[in-house]
Amino acid sequence: MTTFTPVSALLGGLLIGTAASLLLWLDGRIAGVSGILARLLPPSRGGAAWRALFLGGLIGGAALFYALHGHAPQARAGFPGVLLIAGGLLVGLGTGLARGCTSGHGVCGLARLSLRSLVATVTFLLVAVATNYVVRHVAHIAG
């Protein structure tokens, strides 16, 4: 586990907020990544190009960062792969039920003072805390 670095966290938050604000101000769209991906496959009318570019920018930006810094994050060592896959599928199910993800609700929705986004974000966080507790302290799965 790495140590908390407030400068990089602040810069990352500023970049995410700036990107979300620019997408809203310049194109009137919310930067909800799960919704952008869901509407790319299959493509919705007239929106495939910007969605592909947005998602490509996320992947390309991460690849550039890792290329410059020489290390990419690894999956948790010793953590069962089947649980990582199950967790990913449950996150996908949760974003569908919440009609959005942490970027759409937590970044964009809270900035717009959306009550629905506040409820969704609090729910995301509570489920994450409960899941972490169960995995580490009840099931004793370390990694």
Residue 110 lies in a domain: yes
Total domains in the fold of the chain: 1
Residue 143 lies in a domain: no
Residue 64 lies in a domain: yes
Residues whose CB is less than 8 angstroms from the CB of residue 111 and which lie 6 or more positions away in sequence, other chains included: 17, 20, 21
Residue 1 lies in a domain: no
Mean of all residue pLDDT scores within the chain: 84
What is d(CA 18, CA 20) in angstroms, rounded to the nearest whole number? Answer: 6
What is d(CA 46, CA 37) in angstroms, rounded to the nearest whole number? Answer: 14
pTM metric for this prediction:
0.72
What is d(CA 102, CA 108) in angstroms, rounded to the nearest whole number? Answer: 9
Residue 11 lies in a domain: yes
* Domain extent for 105: 6-138
pLDDT of residue 2: 60
Residue 116 lies in a domain: yes
What is d(CA 92, CA 14) in angstroms, rounded to the nearest whole number? Answer: 26
pLDDT of residue 129: 92
Res 33 pLDDT > 80: yes
